[in-house]
């Protein structure tokens, strides 16, 4: 039945700003509404504490703590908190509105999910919790109701109302807040909450996504709590035959009853999850589970409650007037054969004797000194990871690289063994580094200096390719004109990107051949060109000390800063002049030109002879190569 019309808040404007339009959901501590922020004209969700609890300072503090802690996270998979305030009896949080449904709605409708779909939801949940854990917070109430799936497919974690600082590990004696189906054994038994209680709850949620049912069945909350303490979460394949062993192992690791056996936090579990997914085939990921609707469970098992814990003779009892305590939790089962756990008294006596004999240090070394915990390295650079491992007395066994959308290129996305795992000192750890996403967008490089362009390509996982140069009127010299592939195109990581770099505006090189060396240098440098001089001089028709040759020809294009090398002349080469007197003109011309001379014929007036009578440079003497020799024919 729609109770929206009976809700006194619907239609009201809280704090003169938030118009309450409809009720979305109601819980044990608060009601969530769809509202309009009239100041910014945007739809948001308004979480309003029940007025009966607003007078309780503890709950108000929890509300405010949620606002502050979530506002600090600023993670794409965490429902954002925009504002917090009070209007009369109503204490509220203004939050991001996610149009869609909860994971509980999906499980109720579909039952078990395909492994791929389950992991597609599980991984962003772990990313959100990992960010919270790194920021110093524990969620403490992870369950499908707090996983929102938007109409656009985005996954977000909500309801950090029970969030607590990681540093303030609790050990309460009377009661614990949470949802019975997802409470970790240490929460129930000792009231201890650290990041690993969220890891345990995630293991239960993953089991539920893979099977469509919760791992522990009970007729009452007390029976479910008893099973958490005394029974392991069963492998999902026991309920859904054919599920890969890797998923059984993932659930067993996350939902281990001993917190020491679980990954240290959600970020570590994300790394293990990514590794497990990588080992699954497409057929295993897309295997269709049995189509059965999710089991119907008592609402009390899905509601956040104050749960009474077992009380020993030494523990003071803390009562709560808000909820009735459930039935007493049955005692732990005795081991097979009726063996009882040894009493502490004799153990303390033995320990005292060992210490008196000076053996205590040896016992400590045998039991714990040989082992160390693998540090949590996810998100660290390879250098940082190696440094932390070295500080812990551990080495690096090897380095693998895999694609990842969740971790930046070059950072640690997984370790083997995982973070938090106890291994022997001096052992080694295998690192898996992220190669970044499988598809990379080529950055826009035009106008950027070559060094900056190469750095940008490397940063996104692409490789700088062949660099060529071209003239450009509008791109500064040394900056990028274009790239191939062009900016915005998608390519696989490590793809080479060719770069065309500007040589600047072209300079037309003048002819300086035959000009004195100093004059030629001034002319070229005046155009922004550099001038070099060849070490060797050559013989040429140009006078000694003038330019015989230039490395860039006249009329060619060069860039400012390009070098033109000048070769200087040491004057013409001296060549012996052949004796052509007495020869006919044609034979003489041929002989002289063959020796490198130019020939001029001088015929006297009215001379009809073709015989050479004389030559301007006598035969046998030397003359400059390329010079002119005049031959004269006989006259009348």
Active site residues: 141
Q: Which two tokens stand for residue 179?
A: 């949802």
Measured over all CA atoms, what is the biggest interatomic distance in the chain, rounded to whole angstroms?
Answer: 154
Which helix (DSSP H) or strand (DSSP E) does residue 229 occupy? helix 221-230
Whether the CB-CB separation of 29 and 49 falls below 8 Å is answered with: yes
Whether the CB-CB separation of 579 and 620 falls below 8 Å is answered with: yes
Whether the CB-CB separation of 113 and 289 falls below 8 Å is answered with: yes
Q: Provide the 3-class DSSP secondary structure of residue 82.
A: strand
* Phi, then psi, of 555 in degrees rounded to 5: 90, -10
Q: Which two tokens stand for residue 464?
A: 């700088």
Task: Choose among 211, 282, 215: nearest CA to 240.
Answer: 211
Residues near 535 by Cβ (< 8 Å), separated by ≥ 6?
none
Helices (H) and strands (E) in the chain, counts: 17, 35
First to last CA, the chain: 142
Q: Provide the 3-class DSSP secondary structure of residue 387.
A: helix
Please compute Rg for the chain using Cα positions: 44
Whether the CB-CB separation of 212 and 111 falls below 8 Å is answered with: yes
Task: Choose among 473, 463, 480, 546: nearest CA to 511.
Answer: 546
CA distance 371 to 387: 19
Whether the CB-CB separation of 210 and 245 falls below 8 Å is answered with: no
Angle at 61 between CA 29 and CA 56, to 5 degrees: 60
Q: For the residues of 286-339, what is the DSSP string, one character each? A: TPPPP--PPPP--GGGTS-EEEEPP--TTSPP---SSS---PPPPPPPPPGGGP
CA distance 633 to 627: 20
Helical segments of 501-559, H only: 517-525
Could you tell me if residue 488 is left (phi over 0), alpha (psi between -120 and 50 degrees) or otherwise beta? Answer: left
* Phi, then psi, of 448 in degrees rounded to 5: -90, 145
Residues near 233 by Cβ (< 8 Å), separated by ≥ 6?
203, 204, 207, 215, 216, 251, 252, 255
Whether the CB-CB separation of 512 and 533 falls below 8 Å is answered with: no
Q: For the residues of 396-419, what is the DSSP string, one character each? A: EEEEEEE--SSS-TTBEEEEESPT
């Amino acid at each position: 039945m729609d109770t929206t019309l009976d809700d006194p808040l619907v239609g009201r404007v809280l704090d003169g700003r938030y118009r309450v339009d409809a009720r979305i959901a109601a819980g044990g501590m608060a009601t969530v509404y769809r509202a309009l922020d009239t100041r910014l004209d945007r739809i948001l969700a308004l979480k309003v504490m029940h007025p009966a609890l607003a007078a309780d300072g503890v709950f108000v503090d929890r509300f405010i703590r949620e606002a502050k802690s979530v506002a600090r996270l600023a993670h794409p998979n965490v429902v954002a908190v925009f504002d917090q305030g009070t209007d009369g009896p109503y204490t509220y949080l203004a939050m991001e509105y996610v149009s869609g449904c909860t994971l509980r709605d999906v499980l109720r409708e579909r039952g078990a999910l395909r492994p791929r779909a389950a992991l597609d939801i599980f991984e962003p949940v772990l990313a959100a919790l990992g960010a919270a854990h790194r920021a110093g917070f524990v969620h403490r109430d992870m369950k499908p109701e707090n996983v929102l799936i938007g109409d656009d497919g985005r996954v977000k974690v909500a309801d950090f109302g029970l969030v607590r600082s990681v540093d303030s590990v609790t050990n309460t004696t009377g009661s614990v807040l949470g949802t019975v189906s997802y409470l970790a054994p240490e929460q129930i038994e000792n009231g201890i909450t650290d990041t690993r209680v969220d890891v345990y709850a995630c293991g239960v949620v993953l089991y539920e996504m893979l099977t469509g049912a919760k791992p522990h069945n009970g007729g009452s909350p007390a029976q479910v709590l008893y099973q958490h303490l005394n029974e392991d979460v069963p492998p999902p394949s026991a309920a859904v035959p054919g599920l890969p062993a890797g998923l059984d192992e993932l659930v067993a690791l996350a939902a281990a009853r001993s917190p020491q056996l679980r990954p240290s936090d959600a970020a570590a579990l994300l790394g293990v999850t990514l590794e497990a997914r990588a080992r699954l085939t497409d057929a295993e990921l897309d295997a269709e589970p049995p189509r059965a609707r999710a089991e119907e469970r008592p609402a009390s098992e899905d509601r956040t409650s104050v749960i009474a814990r077992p009380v020993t003779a030494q523990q003071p009892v803390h009562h709560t007037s808000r909820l009735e305590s459930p039935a007493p939790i049955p005692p732990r089962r005795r081991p097979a054969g009726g063996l009882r756990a040894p009493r502490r008294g004799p153990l303390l006596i033995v320990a005292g004797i060992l210490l008196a004999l000076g053996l205590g240090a040896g016992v400590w070394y045998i039991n714990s000194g040989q082992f160390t915990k693998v540090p949590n390295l996810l998100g660290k650079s390879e250098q940082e990871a190696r440094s932390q491992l070295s500080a812990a007395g551990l080495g690096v066994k090897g380095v693998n690289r895999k694609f990842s959308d969740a971790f930046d290129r070059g950072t640690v996305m997984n370790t083997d063994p995982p973070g938090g795992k106890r291994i022997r000192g001096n052992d080694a750890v295998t690192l898996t580094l992220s190669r970044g996403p499988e598809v990379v967008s080529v950055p826009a490089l035009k106008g950027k200096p070559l060094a900056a362009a190469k750095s940008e390509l490397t940063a996104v996982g692409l490789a700088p390719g062949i660099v060529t140069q071209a003239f450009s009127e509008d791109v500064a010299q040394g900056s990028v004109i274009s790239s191939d592939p062009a900016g915005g195109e998608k390519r696989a990581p490590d793809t080479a990107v060719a770069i065309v770099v500007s040589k600047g505006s072209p300079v037309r090189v003048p002819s300086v051949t035959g000009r004195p060396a100093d004059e030629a240098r001034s002319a070229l440098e005046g155009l922004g060109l550099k001038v070099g001089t060849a070490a060797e001089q050559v013989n040429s028709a140009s006078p000694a000390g003038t330019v015989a040759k230039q490395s860039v020809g006249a009329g060619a294009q060069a860039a400012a800063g390009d070098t033109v090398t000048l070769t200087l002349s040491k004057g013409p080469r001296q060549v012996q002049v052949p004796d052509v007197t007495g020869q006919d003109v044609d034979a003489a011309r041929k002989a002289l030109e063959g020796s490198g001379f130019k020939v001029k014929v001088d015929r006297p007036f009215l001379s009809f002879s073709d015989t050479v009578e004389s030559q301007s440079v006598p035969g046998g003497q030397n003359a400059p190569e390329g010079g002119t020799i005049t031959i004269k024919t006989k006259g009348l």
